[in-house]
């Protein structure tokens, strides 16, 4: 039952993802959450985010920001990175994940989603059939409703990590 919330991968930071390797593997579109995925909550795009998006565009990726925030917040971030965006996305609803892929000209086989929340970002992308990368939140300061969800996320991550350990142990035992 909890598997629907499991990410494809769980990493420390968006900035530690090997996007060059993923491009070589055939991925061509990346959908990003903004707050606590790319910058602290409410912050504009910093130099690190600008450099990342410059590199992704140079590689040939289409990038999309998918945020539940209102347009002024999303536009403020996007002013410095200049990619497409969808605001008030209604994550985890699948509709705008599909719209994002349509706008980027990608599909579920060559699109990634990167976000910091299980119950909105990962769950929605999983439902849409997109490969997910969950990253640890950049900054601990968050709105109260997100703080409360983080407690539930810890339960999901406990079982996610337990499943990964069992899988690794089974592979070790069978030699596969």
Domain ranges in the chain are 2-140
Indicate the length of the chain as a whole number: 176
Return the pLDDT at 144. Answer: 67
Q: Which two tokens stand for residue 64?
A: 């999309």
Poorest-confidence range of 80-89, 95-104, 107-116, 154-163?
Answer: 154-163
Residues 101 and 29 sit within 8 Å (Cβ to Cβ): yes
CA distances from residue 33 to 17, 97, 125, 128, 165 in whole angstroms, order as listed: 15, 11, 11, 15, 28
Assess whether pLDDT exceeds 80 at residue 99: yes
Mean pLDDT, range 164-175, rounded to an integer? 85
| Segment among 40-44, 78-82, 84-88, 95-99 with least mean pLDDT | 40-44
Cβ atoms of 96 and 130 closer than 8 Å: no
φ, ψ for residue 128, nearest 5 deg: -80, -10
Tell me the pLDDT tens digit for each residue of 5-20. 999 999 999 999 999 9
pLDDT > 80? residue 1: no
The DSSP letter of residue 122 is I
Residue 176 confidence (pLDDT): 63
What pLDDT is attached to residue 116? 96
pTM of the model: 0.89
Per-residue 3-state assignment (H helix, E strand, C coil) for 132-174? EEEECCCCCCCCHHHHHHHHHHHHHHHHHHHHHHHHHHHHHHH
Q: What fold does the segment set 2-140 form as a domain?
A: Rossmann fold (3.40.50)
Q: pLDDT tens across 100-118, in order?
A: 999 999 999 999 999 999 9
Q: Hunting for tokens 């990608």 — which residue is that?
A: 106
In percent, how much of the chain has pLDDT > 90? 78
Burial of 62 (0-12, 13-18, 19+ CB in 10 A): buried
The pLDDT of residue 142 is: 67
pLDDT reported for residue 170: 86
What lies within 8 Å, CB to CB, of 104 at 6+ separation is: 28, 29, 31, 62, 63, 64, 84, 111
The Cα angle at residue 59 between residues 126 and 101, in degrees rounded to 5:
30
């Amino acid at each position: 039952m909890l598997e629907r919330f499991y990410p494809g991968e769980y990493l420390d930071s968006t900035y530690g993802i090997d996007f060059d390797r993923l491009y070589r593997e055939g991925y061509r579109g990346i959908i990003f959450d903004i707050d606590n995925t790319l910058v602290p909550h409410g912050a504009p795009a910093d130099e690190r985010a600008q450099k990342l998006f410059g590199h992704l565009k140079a590689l040939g990726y289409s990038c999309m920001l998918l945020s539940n925030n209102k347009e002024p917040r999303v536009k403020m971030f996007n002013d410095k990175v200049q990619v497409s965006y969808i605001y008030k996305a209604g994550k985890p609803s699948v509709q705008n994940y599909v719209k994002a892929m349509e706008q980027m000209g990608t599909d579920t086989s060559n699109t990634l989603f990167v976000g910091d929340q299980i119950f909105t970002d990962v769950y929605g992308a999983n439902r849409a059939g997109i490969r997910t990368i969950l990253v640890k939140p950049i900054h601990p300061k968050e709105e109260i409703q997100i703080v409360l969800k983080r407690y539930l996320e810890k339960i999901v991550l406990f079982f996610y990590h337990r499943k990964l350990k069992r899988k690794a142990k089974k592979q070790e035992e069978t030699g596969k």
